[in-house]
Amino acid sequence: MILRRPFFWIILLVTVGFIYAPLHGNNVSLREDLILIAIAIILASNLNLMIGYTGYVNFGHIVFYGLGGYVGLYLTTARGWNLVLSALVAGVVVSVCAFLFGLAILRLRGAYFALATIGILQAVQAFVSNFDPWGRSTGMYLSFNSYQSLGGARHALWITYFLIIAVMTLSMIVSLVIKNSKFGLGLFAIREDEDAAVVLGVNATVYKAIIYSVSAFLPAVAGALMFFKNGMIDPSIAFEYMLSLEGIVMLMLGGQGSVIGAALGGALYERLRSYLLTSPILSNFHLVIAGGLLLMVVLFAPGGLIGWVYRLVPRARKVIE
Amino acid sequence: MSGVLASMIDGLLVGAVYGLAAMGLSLIWGVMDVINLTHGAMIALGMFCMYLLFAATGINAYLLLLPTIGVGLLLGLAVYWMAVHWVVGRSMLMSLLSTFAVNMMVIGIGTAVWSTSPYNVNFVLPGITIGAYTFTGNHMAAAISAVVIALALQLFLYHTRTGKAIRAVADNREAAELMGISSTAVLSIAFAIGIALACTSGALVSTLFPFTILSGGVYQLKSFVVTILAGLGKPFGALVAGVLLGLLEGVVTPFIAVSWIPLIEFGLFVVVLVAFPQGIFGKRVTA
């Protein structure tokens, strides 16, 4: 059972920390820092389901986040729905889209799949940039009234923050549950040797489509919440290719295939990026440093940070998963 | 109707340049089984290489292709020893990620140096006017250059010792080593040639359209589509497939907005991958 896993309680503890820290003394700037970390953790954790668990590289993971943002903002603004409902609907809609994409492109294996994901990102971006109801390339703005139903802007921002933290916690718990399930074992088998897995009775096609769709759900919800908080969306922000790529760096840095690895990598990388972006000398070079980091990890430590810890303290595998 | 014809001819000419770019990708993919994700960045570097050379010398831009090829070869060797050599033969994920890391670094440095604002190479050759349509000299010169370089590569691969060694390593690396071919040397040369082709095609594109450091991404996607269309490891087939893609773009652009093109190309990419995994020129191979 999931409750008996020590790591489950660690996740809850982290969540409490995320909630308590900014509330204590109404620290808004801390809240804004934490929100970026939470988004990074959500993206990295869900990407981990594809890359770390199933062994399929998704270069266009951000497409789910952006589409979720679009559907969410469209529902809250143009349709006047409430935030939680629109975010959930955004998640469901994007998951269904992902399932359909998945059926088409998951017939491809390995590198071909990876290339197709780049294509998906560009194709969806091209579609949204031409789609009239979503404001084409100028995007959409949130009407200020949407904040009223949540008790004014100040209140609304806090509520969105808590919702995003909830999504973050859920991301880690979903990763943990899948890792310890029979479904997860099937995914690992696909990662190690897809043909052998099929022979042993894993329905690879269905498994892959399901995990692709699951990895879309929470990022889409997070996108809906985040773009609600930002109050605007346009294709270049929503489908930021660089962020998609940085998600991979986070995952490799922390350690692919591990729940804590993905989360840790997300948090550390986000802090590093914030530091680099605000530093006057290094701000232009954050991609260079990210690329350098990724290259180092790939060449010298393919297990990432957590792989290194596991090698040092083999027993750690039992506690931090 | 003649408007469509003119647009098709234009697409044909640009398509030759797409084909050249795809040849670089296809060569590397075929020889060492590495999908080179620095491809787009290298195309962009080729554009800026041309821009800088032209700004410095001011001579005929198409003569500047020769130094660009040289720069490309050196770049290719540098990237090979930095990121590729260590991952050849390891899982596909590793080579995807390592080339991708180099891509990020190049784009990062490029953005810092040139920002993302557009540049262009201000060099115009006289064109030919037929009726209401003008075919610019640059388009024709670029297409001719692309075909000449492609032919040169074909001659190199089939009629020189090094070229034959490259094909041997692509066929069967172990057998080639047993015949006394140093596969490391061959791989680095093949990679350098692949990058040089990317740079050269970037340089050609820079004489046709304005560009930014991020423009390479668009041509990278086109290169993937073309490579898949042609089938792996068929450099000359890539040129033909490139021309086909250009032709297709030429046919559709009079009717729909240019911003839809990535969607069409991607659709084509998936359909071809699923329906013709060996490429439209490839033989069906039973696994």
Domain boundaries, chain B: 2-275
Q: pTM surpassing 0.90?
A: no
Q: What is the DSSP letter of B34?
A: -
Quick check: B266 and A286 CB within 8 A?
no
> How much of chain B, in percent, has pLDDT values that exceed 90?
29
Q: Which two tokens stand for residue A276?
A: 């680099």
Q: Do A114 and B96 touch (CB under 8 A)?
A: yes
Q: Which residues of B touch A128 (CB under 8 A)?
A: none
Residues 6+ apart with CB under 8 A from B141: B62, B125, B207
B-interface mutation test, from A103, A107, A285, A295, most B Cβ less than 10 A away: A295
Q: Pick A298's closest partner by Cβ from B97, B108, B274.
A: B97
Total Cβ atoms within 10 A of residue B118:
12
Residue A218 confidence (pLDDT): 92
Which of A120-134, A140-154, A204-218, B268-282 tops mean pLDDT?
A204-218
Residue among A129, A287, A295 minimizing CB distance to B108: A287
The answer on pLDDT for A48 being more than 60 is yes
Residues 154-193 of B with CB under 8 A from A: none
How does the average pLDDT of chain B come out, rounded?
85
In the structure, how many helices (H) and strands (E) does chain B have? 11, 2
Return the number of CB contacts < 8 Å for A and B. Answer: 114
Q: Of the given ranges (A82-91, A114-123, A257-266, B139-148), which has the lowest mean pLDDT?
A: A114-123
* Contact B268/A at CB under 8 A: no
Residue B221 touches partner A, C-beta closer than 8 Å: yes
Class of B2-275 per CATH? mainly alpha
Q: For testing the chain A interface, which of B81, B102, B104 should be mutated: the one with the most A CBs within 10 Å?
A: B104
Look at residues A23, A84, A14 and name the one whose alpha carbon lies nearest to residue A225: A84
ipTM (interface predicted TM): 0.81
Q: Which has the minimum average pLDDT: A24-28, A215-219, B120-124, B231-235?
A: B231-235
Amino acid residing at B187: L
For B223, which residue in chain A has the nearest alpha carbon? Answer: A115
Per-residue pLDDT of B154-194, as tens digits, reads 899 899 999 999 988 888 888 888 888 888 899 999 999 99
Distance from CA of A53 to the nearest CA of B (A): 13
Give the Cβ contact number of residue B89 at 10 Å.
12
Residue B266, chain A, CB below 8 Å: the answer is yes
pLDDT at B90: 80
Strands B128-130 and A232-233: unpaired
As a whole number of angstroms, the distance between CA B168 and CA B88 comes to: 16
Side chain identity at B182, as an amino acid letter?
A: S
Looking at chain B from residue 100 to 139, which residues have their Cβ under 8 Å from any Cβ of chain A? 100-109, 111-112
Q: Dihedral angle at the C-alpha atoms of B78, B81, B87, B89, nearest 10 degrees? A: 110
Residue carrying structure tokens 């996740």: A11
The percentage of chain B sitting over the pLDDT mark of 70, rounded to a whole number, equals 95
pLDDT the model gives residue B220? 87
Closest by Cβ to A298, choosing from B98, B217, B273 = B98
- Beta-carbon separation of A123 and B103 below 8 A: no
**Residue B37's closest CA among B84, B85, B89?**
B84
Domain borders along chain A are 2-241
Cβ distance of B273 and A252 shorter than 8 Å: no
What's the gap between Cα A70 and its chain centre? 16
